[in-house]
Structure 1
């Protein structure tokens, strides 16, 4: 009788236990977008913790640390990490690409809308990442002061200054990326 009671109690408890394990498994943070600096001393990656997307950097022998602080699940992707040649700056894209109608995803229905933009972060400071320009596919110049990016099928160059006026790298027909 005692064995039967124990078996019934364990059987009743196991679905709740299994559900808890499943929730823990499905809500575990996921990591993606691993990149390294040119010299290999710094690495960065994106972590998605229950929809809150942020960038983690590990420099030298230091412990990994967050360099962005986006505290809400607003559905905005972070992607396309790019280190500067000296490994001390990082460019990244926040926001998803446009659909065929040219509309960017706005899963949180933000009143101001959503944009796919390139952000700059000096990984040695606690400053907030700076939104530089709308676009994607950032790539630093060798000097680390300017970068190339794509927008609307054209290639542009820009400086790291906020609201800098990007210049087309060249004029070409068709879609370039």
Structure 2
């Protein structure tokens, strides 16, 4: 049996707090970060998102969070779910785009490190002026000739992804 003062919390970004509601003191302790064994994290700089059902859970989760980080944030289940969706776009989808770029470069025997400064500048601009304002490229300019050349040059199984992202950019900017 679990101690009646025990706090049970899950760590998922996409699961509602209700998943642990069968425990008296429950909550969520979510860190929006991708962890790898080969990379060390400075937890002090990581945001920690908490949700709790009562003052006992609040006290315990806040104490733990404040020991690890100075960036404790309160999000409800709906907000955390939206944060998780955004994290999938920012992390998983962007990383997949890096993978596709690597494939294109490898097939052409081009060193991928040629694009590292572009990767860094893209992130810096997105953080400095906003991703919306930082958007460039043929879809943003509605450069249909360049888009057509790119689609023609891509393998057929990569065209759908290129076209979907291009259309999303065009829709975002009213092109």
In the superposition, the TM-score normalised over structure 2's length comes to 0.30
- Per chain length, whose mean CA-contact separation is higher, i.e. which structure has more relative contact order (CA < 8 Å, sep 6+)? 2
Give the structure with the larger helix fraction. 2
Given the two structures, how large is their TM-score scaled by the length of structure 1? 0.30
